[in-house]
Amino acid sequence: MNATDPSIPLWRQLQAVAAVLQAIRGGVSGTAALNPVAPELRPGVQALIFHVLRSLGRAQALRQLLAQRTPPPPADALLCTALALAWQAQDAPYEVFTLVNQAVEAAKRGPATQQQASFINACLRRFLREREALVAATDTNPVACWNHPQWWINRLQKDWPDRWQQILAANNRHAPMSLRVNTRRTSVSAYLQTLTAAGLGAVGEGATGVTLDQPRPVPEIPGFAAGLVSVQDGAAQLAAPLLLSGLAASDPLRVLDACAAPGGKTAHLLEFADCNVTALEIDPQRALRIHQTVQRLGLQATVVVADAAAPSSWWDGQLFDAILLDAPCSASGIVRRHPDVRWLRRETDIAQLVAIQARLLKLLWPLLRPGGRLLYCTCSVFKAEGQHQLQTFLARNTDVALLPSPGHLMPSNGATQGTVPDNRDRDHDGFYYALLEKRAA
C-alpha cells in the first residue's frame, strides 16, 4: 500500500500520519489536517491515515493495555498509529517488524516525541512479543471490534437492531469510486467506451452512473477536466431525478439548492433538466467551489453567499418550483469515504444538527409554491436525522404530502425502506431521502 516515493523513509511518513491523527483528535477534519503535509508525502500519508482511522478503536484498546496512563498527545498519536497499522499482520501495509522499528525511529527524530522514544519502544516491543494475547484481550471491547465510538454503536443498535452490524462493517470497507456522467455532453455507454480506450475498467450504473474498477486520482479521470463526468456517489446521484422527474412547469423550473457546496447536486440539477438554479452557501470559500464545479461542466447557476436559514437576506419573494434541502448532518452515512467522521463527531452533536435541520425545513417550506416539491435529504443513517425528523415535520404541517421516497439507504448493501429505481443493487453510501409536495391551501 506504499502510495508514495519509496525513497522517502517510512519514519517520515509515520511522523506525518501521527501529526494528522493528533489534529483529528483535536477536532480538525481529515481534509484540513492533511493540508499541511508536504506534497511528496501526502499520497502515502493519506493512505496510511485512512488505514489508521479504520482501526483506531482497536489501536486505542491495545494502547490502554500497554500503558494504563495516557502518554502526551504526540506520543499517544504515534503509538496508536503504529498499533493501528500493525495489529493485524495480514492487512498491515508494511511488514510488522518494519512498522515497529520505523515508529521508534520516528519517535527518536521527532522533537515532540524524543523524550517518549524509550517508552514507545518498550510498548511496541511488548506488543510484538504478546501480540496474539493482547489482541485477544481486546476482542470483547465493542469499540475495538467495530472501530466506532461506543455512543455511535449504541445509536445504530437502537435505530437498526437487525442491521447495525452490517452498517458498521460497511463503514470499515473502502468505498468505490463512482462517477456521474454529464448527459448534456455524452452518455454512459459512450463514456464507458472512452474508459475502455484509456485501458480503464468500469461498469455502468443506472442512467448516469459509472463505477471504476480501481480508484484514480481525479485529474487523471478521462474527460473530467472537459466536463464529461463528475465524482459523485451513487446515492447522491438520486437527488436530482427524485426532485425534478415529472414536475410540471410552463417555464424553466425555478429551483433552490439550499445548502449547495461543493456543487455536485447543483450541477446534476442543471444537467438533468432546463431550470434556473439558485445555489446557496454560507461559506464564501465553499461557494467558490460551486462556481468552479458548474463552470467545468459548462453550466450556469446563480450562486449566492447567504444563510439558507435567513431568507429575508437573500430571497426575492418569488416562490420556487422545487427546493433541494441537503441539510447539515452527522455524515454518518459516508464514514467509509470519510473515516475521520466517526472520531470527530460527538454524541451531543446529533441534537444540535437535528435542531438545525428542523429550522431549515420550517423556514424554507413557505418559499415553495403550491404543487411544488421539496426534497429533504441527509447523508446520515441515524433515524433522528431522517425518519424521525420527517415524522415531526409531517405532524406539524397540514399542507404536506409525502410522495414515494427512498427513505433510509444503508451504506453499500443497497437496502432501502422504499423504492429506488436503478439503485437497489448499487454499492453506495448511506443516505436519507423524503420527497414532499406542497398542497394548495
Transcribe 286-300 into DSSP letters.
Answer: HHHHHHHHHHHTT--
Q: How far is CA 440 from CA 245, 280, 436, in A?
A: 20, 26, 13
> One digit per residue, pLDDT tens: the chain, 441 residues?
445 567 899 999 999 999 999 999 999 999 999 999 999 999 999 999 999 999 999 999 999 999 989 999 999 999 999 999 999 999 999 999 999 999 999 999 999 999 999 999 999 999 999 999 999 999 999 999 999 999 999 999 999 999 999 999 999 999 999 999 999 999 999 999 999 999 999 999 989 999 999 999 999 999 999 999 999 999 999 999 999 998 877 689 999 999 999 999 999 999 999 999 999 999 999 999 999 999 999 999 999 999 999 999 999 999 999 999 999 999 999 999 999 999 999 999 999 999 999 999 999 999 999 999 999 999 999 999 999 999 999 999 999 999 999 999 999 744 444 444 444 456 899 999 999 999 986
Q: Please report where in the chains the cell 452527522 appears, as a residue.
A: 330
Query: Is the Cβ–Cβ distance between 71 and 116 less than 8 Å?
Result: yes
**Number of other residues whose CB lies within 10 A of the CB of residue 313:** 10
Angle between helices 73-86 and 42-54 (to 10 degrees): 80
Look at residues 235, 393, 254, 388 and name the one whose alpha carbon lies nearest to residue 324: 254
Domains of the chain and any CATH numbers = 10-147 (1.10.940.10), 178-231 (3.30.70.1170), 236-438 (3.40.50.150)
Grid cell of 167 as nine digits: 452498517
For residue 272, how far is the Cα from the chain centroid? 24
Residue 80 annotated in active site: no
Q: Alpha helix locations (H) across 67-147?
A: 73-86, 96-109, 117-138, 142-146
**Number of other residues whose CB lies within 10 A of the CB of residue 355:** 10
Query: Is the Cβ–Cβ distance between 381 and 411 less than 8 Å?
Result: yes
400-409 vs 229-231, strand pairing mode: unpaired
Environment class of residue 65 by beta-carbon count within 10 Å: exposed (0-12), middle (13-18) or buried (19+)? middle
Supply the pTM of this predicted model.
0.93
Catalytic residue among 80, 329, 377, 379: 379
Look at residues 336, 333, 346, 412 and name the one whose alpha carbon lies nearest to residue 377: 333
Q: Alpha helix locations (H) across 139-222?
A: 142-146, 150-159, 164-171, 188-197
What SS3 state is found at 176? coil
- Backbone phi, then psi, for 55, in 5-degree steps? -125, 15
Exposure on the CB side of residue 166, measured as CA atoms within 13 A: 15
Environment class of residue 69 by beta-carbon count within 10 Å: exposed (0-12), middle (13-18) or buried (19+)? exposed
pLDDT of residue 412: 72
Query: Is the Cβ–Cβ distance between 320 and 369 less than 8 Å?
Result: yes
Give the integer Cα–Cα distance in Å for 369 and 257: 15
Query: Is the Cβ–Cβ distance between 382 and 155 less than 8 Å?
Result: yes
- Backbone phi, then psi, for 219, in 5-degree steps? -60, -20
pLDDT of residue 5: 62
Look at residues 64, 68, 63 and name the one whose alpha carbon lies nearest to residue 84: 63
- State which amino acid sits at residue 309: A
Give the integer Cα–Cα distance in Å for 35 and 429: 25
Query: Is the Cβ–Cβ distance between 20 and 45 less than 8 Å?
Result: yes
Give the integer Cα–Cα distance in Å for 84 and 68: 18
Give the integer Cα–Cα distance in Å for 45 and 243: 39
